[in-house]
Amino acid sequence: MNQIITIGKNLAVVLLCVLALACKDDKAVDGTALTLLSYTPHEDDNVPTEGVIELTFSKSVRQAPDTDITLNGTPVRVIITDNVVRAHYSLPLADHIRLLIPEGALTDMDGAQAFSGLDLNLPVRVEAHPFDAIVDANGHGDYTSVQAAIDQAPANATQPYLIFVADGTYNECITIPANKPYVHLIGQSREGTRIQFLLNRVQWKDPATPKPEGWEYSAYNPDYQATTGLTSANEAVCLVLASDFHAENLSFVNLYGARADVYGGRAANGQADALMTRADRISLYNCRMVSYQDTWWVRNNQSDRWRGLNNRNYADSCWIEGKTDYLYGNGNLLVERSIFFNVGTSGNVMTAGAHFPGTAWGHIMRGCTVDGLPSANGTTFFGRPWQQEPVAVWIDTRCKVSLDPAGWMDMGALPKVYGEYGTTDAEGNPVDTSRRKTTFAVGGKQVPYPGNIVLDAADAAKYTYDAIITADDGWDPRSYYTDKHLPAPAHVALDGTTLTWDGLNRAVCYLVFRDGVLLGQTTETTYTVPSADGTYTVRAANKYGNLSD
């Protein structure tokens, strides 16, 4: 009996040793390098804006702890099944899909072999897509009214709704409702595409008092409402209540305040807004805003939609014209490479801030030019503090008309941040800032400004596009017309009445003009024209509506 038990124990030991050796052999087989065998889609495929990237490896993998795999800079949760890794994405506004797997983020199942990493950059397919609406005063489009086109925009959109406005004069007030984000309003040219109206916000609350000047053109006047169709909600020629609004190559002109000799306006004093913006992520490129007082109101409250008092506005290469407080309000605004054109004979005040506590940046002007009529020379001011905690900073400003030596005016509040850096005259010479205002009238007393009215380089360097505009969500309106801008189509040729040109990889559609007048649009690279007479041009549009030259 004892002998049998001993043999059984010995047999068990032998079996355990064999099993251990077998396991050891298995591990030796699994020690090969972890490599990527294939992936889909490929760089030359038609990559959509929504889909799955699938990676196949040489053996089963897992994601290492405390590592991030990213899609377009954002961590993504990947799905792993044995040796296949899948990353789902939905990026409707992207022009590329970048999958970044850092070295060591993927390993084999026992962690012995790490993947060397992958930086996969896939260009996104641009689907042919004509402008959603064309507005043409001459009747060559879908509408003759800009507001009619806006009315047809879908609610709660997540991609740009492209509206092209041909050269012409559109006598109307327009409103982009809060439930219609992503309206992109693209004009043919800044000088030729004009949305204008004659109105102001003058109020007459007590009939026992004299009728105020301009009352006959007030949006609050029932008689004027009856003849024009306005309501008290029409507070500006263009009122933007929706986020992600973008405008290019347009003029917004309030005829009540606009100059008579240039715009046919009245050049009258009084609150007459050309533009009012009340949402987040609003951008303007190569636009013109014209009035006399209160040309552009950046108007946000703590209770407003989106980010409230920290809603962002961006203007690049624009023309802003007026005399009194003609860029005013609150929120965060960056104006770059734009012209401030002063039309008054005295007291030209470019900004008037009313920023609430908690505002991150305020109103920042970078690389702008101060210009104006000869009468504005020496009578122009950076701004005055309207109310709350005003913020206005001017960086690298070129003054073609000179500022008043004080630079700033009183208005009853103490600025939170007022400053300038790198101000020059028309020839690029530094201006004398020794007489800049350093106290402000508050409650009947002159109160010292607590900061530096002239900034140093370190302070000025804080006010960047990335900090103010891109912020924490990656909003990048500048890219619409810079790195995504298309060249003019090449080899435009006319054979009889057939116009042809070379297609562009990133174009969503093409606009065809004869002698500068719109004929129509197409997603093809041919267009049948009415005759061989005239000069034909073709302009390509990218997915944001930005046009080639």
| In-domain check, residue 415 | no
| pLDDT for the residue 4 | 45
pLDDT of residue 28: 54
- Same domain assignment for residues 52 and 82: yes
> In this structure, are 252 and 277 located in the same domain?
yes
pLDDT confidence of residue 1: 45
pLDDT at residue 215, rounded to an integer:
97
Q: Are residues 148 and 2 in the same domain?
A: no
- Is the residue at 9 inside a domain? yes
- Tell me, yes or no, whether 146 and 293 share the same domain: yes
CATH at residue 293: 2.160.20.10
Per the CB < 8 A criterion, the answer to whether 514 and 494 are in contact is no
Q: Is residue 344 domain-resident?
A: no
DSSP of 361-426:
S-EEEES-EEEE-GGGTT-EEEEEE-SSS-EEEEES-EESSPBPTT-B---SS--SEEEEES-EET
Q: Do 109 and 134 sit in the same domain of this protein? A: no
* pLDDT < 50 positions in the chain: 1-7, 14, 18, 21-27
Residues 156 and 291 in one domain: yes
Same domain for 51 and 91?
Answer: yes
The confidence score (pLDDT) of residue 16 equals 53
Q: Are residues 81 and 133 in the same domain?
A: no
Same domain, 22 and 52: no
pLDDT in the model for residue 306: 67
Q: Which of 313, 388, 320, 329 is nearest to 348 (CA)?
A: 320
The DSSP symbol for 466 reads I
Q: How many domains does the chain have?
A: 4
> In this structure, are 58 and 160 located in the same domain?
no
136 and 268 housed in the same domain = yes
Question: How far from the centroid of its chain's Cα atoms is residue 243's Cα?
Answer: 10
Question: What range defines the domain where residue 522 resides?
Answer: 493-541
Token pair 């010995």 in the structure block, residue: 10
> One-letter amino acid identity for 318?
C
Tokens 């038990």 identify what position? Answer: 5
Does one domain contain both 25 and 42? no
